Amino acid sequence: MLTRSRKGWALPESAATPKSVWLSRRRLLAAGGAGAMLAAAPGAGYLLGGGGGGQPAGMAMADEAPIAPELYPAPLNEAYELDRELTDPELATTYNNFYEFGSQKNISMAAQALRLRPWTVTIDGMVEEEITLDAEELIRRMPIEERLYRLRCVEAWAMAVPWTGFALKELVDFARPLSSAQYLVMTTFEDSSQAPGQRQFWYPWPYTEGLTMAEATNELAFIATGIYGEPMPRQNGAPLRLAVPWKYGFKSVKSIVRFSFTDQRPTTFWEEIAGQEYGFWANVNPEVPHPRWSQATERMLGTDERVPTQLFNGYGEQVAHLYDGLEGERLFM
Ligand code: MTE
């Protein structure tokens, strides 16, 4: 229940199915249990790209009803086009980074232990009034649409997926931040009884990410609530995850429970672990290598083909101006 009274937002029209080029959406429903999990590199490690972890024992399969299923599929926003084929849904939903469930890519089964009901979202910090409401209520208040976006991981793999969700700016408007707010900090749930990775005390849980207000209100910043025309699978960050396609994937924080407005730049999860490798800005740039991965090219999931990386992952037209005057910052890592 929303703890602030305000006018309700119109529910989006229930919409026509966008002409989907993709593969059967229904396959996704089974994706959590898909047998086609990809093998990840063996070995231990706590940095991105590391191995170790694996499937935790004793995981439970969650069986709650999906969140706001009537909203899917949502109308396609045709402003966001791709220059590449969409990634096979099975790959996009079984090759994941979600360290709360393990540090390998095959966490999709383990992530089914995540309980999505109730899922309370808190909006606080420098706002006119703190808000708490259930994720399902929040999602139903937002104008839901579908967008085709790229995702580029700093490990130099990439995918292209249809997200369903809403512009982050809509949430910012709903939150009514004070004019003094400069950053939006987004935080993942914390509950090691569901997410065994969170028992690994050397990580600075909960996973935290942040954007400047200008980034958060840029048209591209998106809160994804679904993928391939279905509610978001747990392994991809249900019920709410960020999608900022001009930045490396680690900025796209999953399973968010808190949106906090602040005038302090946050230290983000990976920055705290290895600040020399991961920074606050993390904009994609082929010319700025990560210490362990060249960023000059990327591999599309499902192929062996390497294609040239693009500055801002190809979204420079929408976002390059956000960084005018910030040339002194470490914008690309
Ligand atoms: N969010 C949380 N809470 N925990 C994580 O480990 N991994 C990040 C990001 N969001 C991560 C996270 C990284 S490194 C990437 S590349 C993307 O999620 C991967 O998203 P996907 O699994 O949906 O492809």
The rounded Å distance from CA 52 to ligand 1 centre is: 16
Ligand 1 pocket residue status of 98, Cβ below 6 Å = yes
48 lines ligand 1 (CB under 6 A): yes
Three-state DSSP string of the chain: CCCCCCCCCCCCCCCCCCCCCCCCHHHHHHHHHCCCCCCCCCCCCCCCCCCCCCCCCCCCCCCCCCCCHHHCCCCECCCCCCCCCCCCHHHHCCCCCCHHHCCCCCCCCHHHHCCCCCCEEEEEECECCCEEEEHHHHHHHCCCEEEEEEEECCCCEEEEEEEEEEEHHHHHHHHCECCCCCEEEEEECCCCCCCHHHHCCCCCCCCEEEEEHHHHCCCCCEEEEEECCEECCHHHCCCCEEECCCEEHHHCCCCEEEEEEECCCCCCHHHHHCCCCCCCCCECCCCCCCCCCCCCEEEECCCCCEEECCHHHHCHHHHHHHHCCCCCCCCCC
Query: For atom 19 of ligand 1, which residue has the closest CA?
Result: 97
| C-alpha of residue 253 to centroid of ligand 1, in Å | 6
What is residue 61's predicted lDDT score, i.e. its pLDDT?
60
Per-residue pLDDT in tens (0 to 9) along the chain, 333 residues: 665 532 222 222 222 233 344 434 434 433 343 333 222 222 234 567 754 334 433 345 667 899 999 999 999 999 999 989 999 999 999 999 999 999 999 999 999 999 999 999 999 999 999 999 999 999 999 999 999 999 999 999 999 999 999 999 999 999 999 999 999 999 999 999 999 999 999 999 999 999 999 999 999 999 999 999 999 999 999 999 999 999 999 999 999 999 999 999 999 999 999 999 999 999 999 999 999 999 999 999 999 989 999 999 999 999 999 999 999 999 999
Map out the domains of the chain as residue ranges.
13-320
CATH number of 13-320: 3.90.420.10
